[in-house]
Amino acid sequence: MTALIDTRNLTKIYRLGDISVKALDNVTLSIGAAEFTAIMGHSGSGKSTFMNILGCLDRPTSGQYLLEGEDVSNLSVKQLATIRNRRIGFVFQGYNLLRRTSALENVELPLIYSHVPAKERRMKSLEALEIVGLSGHEHHQSNQLSGGQQQRVAIARALVNSPSIILADEPTGNLDTRTSFEIMGVFRRLNSDHGITVIIVTHEPDIAAFTRRHIVFRDGQVIEDRANEPRIGS
């Protein structure tokens, strides 16, 4: 399996005045295409920082990050934006949908920034909404939808541009257990049926149980990296 994500001695240091905090400390690991991985750890363990760098939202202080073989650790702001647009889909804990905007328009957002013509934009977005099981809700305003539905819209937005990776930061943090499991089911389908690499950041073992690999962070370092027999949930 070719390594989709390959990090080498990835280090991130935050400086707050005189104090410097090492959020990531020489992290070297690789994640292959079509893997379904959970990144775990307590808050402050460095998992969110790692996730931001993987998502090209942030750049490492030192070390290398190879995405599909290309070193992206020193790209410009503009190039990083393009990578986020074309190759990465984000799902956040707080859904992060645009308010007063329909589900369809929220899903279309990444396509707008990659200059896809309106007609094609609409077609692809409807397709993505169908995949997450929201057909018929495309014209609902985002704030008229339930939490689970909002997160489905966010997932549709993440996958609409056919990315190779979907990064989800505590995607079930605001949802009840039943809905959480439903959402994890969606991720599992994206991984198994569509071959998308899915990386979930979570601190809940229940949620991590859906994935095939657990990477555990503590104090900016990887302390555990093991395979997992996924739970077959609802």
DSSP secondary structure of 133-154: T-TT-TTSBGGGS-HHHHHHHH
Distance between CA 14 and CA 88 in Å, rounded? 24
Query: Is 82 near other proteins (CB under 8 A)?
Result: yes
Which of 15, 115, 119, 226: binder of other proteins (CB under 8 A)? 115
Closest CB to other proteins among residues 102, 214: 102
Query: Is 206 near other proteins (CB under 8 A)?
Result: no
Interface region with other proteins, contact rule CB under 8 A, candidates 85-93, 175-183, 192-200, 216-224: 85-93
Distance between CA 155 and CA 157 in Å, rounded? 5
Nearest to 147 by CA among 108, 167, 177: 177
Shortest separation between residue 178's beta carbon and other proteins, angstroms: 27
Is residue 76 within 8 Å of 112, Cβ to Cβ?
A: no
Nearest to 167 by CA among 22, 30, 38, 4: 38
Look-up: residue for tokens 């080498």? Answer: 8
> What are 156's two structure tokens?
């549709």
Query: Is 55 near other proteins (CB under 8 A)?
Result: yes
Interface region with other proteins, contact rule CB under 8 A, candidates 4-12, 86-94, 124-132, 188-196: 86-94
Site string for other proteins, 156-195 (x = CB under 8 A): -x---x----------------------------------
**For the packed helices 147-159 and 103-113, what is the interaxial angle rounded to 10 degrees?**
20
Query: Is 97 near other proteins (CB under 8 A)?
Result: yes
Shortest separation between residue 149's beta carbon and other proteins, angstroms: 17
Which of 19, 69, 78, 226: binder of other proteins (CB under 8 A)? 78
Query: Is 113 near other proteins (CB under 8 A)?
Result: yes
* Pure H helices in the chain: 47-54, 77-87, 103-113, 118-131, 147-159, 177-194, 205-208
Which of 9, 28, 74, 98: binder of other proteins (CB under 8 A)? 98
Which of 41, 60, 110, 148: binder of other proteins (CB under 8 A)? 110
DSSP code at position 98: P
Query: Is 223 near other proteins (CB under 8 A)?
Result: no
Question: What residues make contact with other proteins under the rule CB under 8 A?
Answer: 52, 55, 57-58, 77-78, 81-82, 84-86, 90, 92, 96-101, 109-110, 112-115, 157, 161
